[in-house]
Structure 1
Amino acid sequence: MFIFNNIHDRKYKKVFSNYENVIFDLSLTQINNVNNVDWGNIKEGDLACVVTSSRKISTIYRVLDIVHCGEIEGEEGDLYVLRGKVVAKFESQLDMTGLLNKFNVVHPKLPANKFSIGFNVANLEHQLDLLQVQVGQVKVSLSEMK
């Protein structure tokens, strides 16, 4: 599963009103930053979650695609958007650091399971596979959703 840093609460629906299902974006400059190398590993069907300023997680998405938007008026740089479909919810929002600590998640850009500076995306791979999420009326693990 991929985790995305939106702690500045970027309003994707407003910025990318011509695109549906946008859950995250990165500029080409950010993509080329070594801190975001995991962006290049995202593929259709992957699971993803976006962390906002509350540092909480509430929704799991299935990646639909990455779309190159080019330059958008009022925005800086050449932009790419990640589009996804909601596939699961948590009963209540979960604190990111607490959740990652519970599952002993280790990632070089998440020291002490907090976001490092200049970091936007991390591939947690299978580290959260045992996490239970609500899909309709049923609880399933992330591994069962893959």
Structure 2
Amino acid sequence: MFLLNNIHDKNYKKCYPTESDVIFDISEKQLASAKNAAWNELKEGSIVCVVTSTRRVSTFCKVTAIKSVEEIDSDGGEMFALFGVVIAKLMPESNMGLLLSKFSVKHQYLPSNKFSVGFHVADLGTELDTLKVKTRSGAKTISELKG
């Protein structure tokens, strides 16, 4: 499971008006940082949660596609978009720091369970697999969503 950093509340619908289901994007420059190497582990079917300025974990999506998009970043580099559909909600939503502490999540780029500067993609592996979320078909764990 992956956490994605959108704490600056980028509006993907506005940025990509001709694309549907964009849930996150990242620039070529951001990908050049070793901090964001986990982007390369994302694939169709991955479970992700995009964290916004509220710093709350609430909505879980299943990745449907990852592709280069026509938008160019401010440095003239390529942009890559992550497409997905909502598959679950955490009810009630939870403060990211408190949730990660509760599950004893340790990640080198999440000091004090907060995103470090320039860090956008966290692969949490199986750390939140036992977290129960609400789906259309009832309560499930993240592990069950992966299966």
Same fold (TM over 0.5): yes
| TM-aligned CA deviation for residue 71 of structure 1 | 3.5
- The alignment yields a C-alpha RMSD, in angstroms, of 1.1
Letter aligned with residue 94 of structure 2: L
Distance 1:100 1:145 in 2: 19
Structure 1, gaps ≥5 residues long: none
| TM-aligned CA deviation for residue 48 of structure 1 | 0.1
Letter aligned with residue 83 of structure 1: F
% of aligned pairs identical?
Answer: 44
| TM-aligned CA deviation for residue 92 of structure 1 | 2.2
Does 2:114 match 1:90? no
TM-score (structure 1 length as normaliser): 0.95
Letter aligned with residue 118 of structure 1: G
**Structure-1 residue corresponding to 2:125:** 125
Residue correspondences, number? 144
Letter aligned with residue 111 of structure 1: P
Letter aligned with residue 116 of structure 1: S
Letter aligned with residue 145 of structure 1: L
In the TM superposition, what are the counterparts of 1:5-20 in structure 2 within 5 Å? Answer: 5-20=5-20
Does 2:35 match 1:52? no
| TM-aligned CA deviation for residue 137 of structure 1 | 4.9
In the TM superposition, what are the counterparts of 1:1-146 in structure 2 within 5 Å? Answer: 1-72=1-72, 75-76=73-74, 77-146=77-146
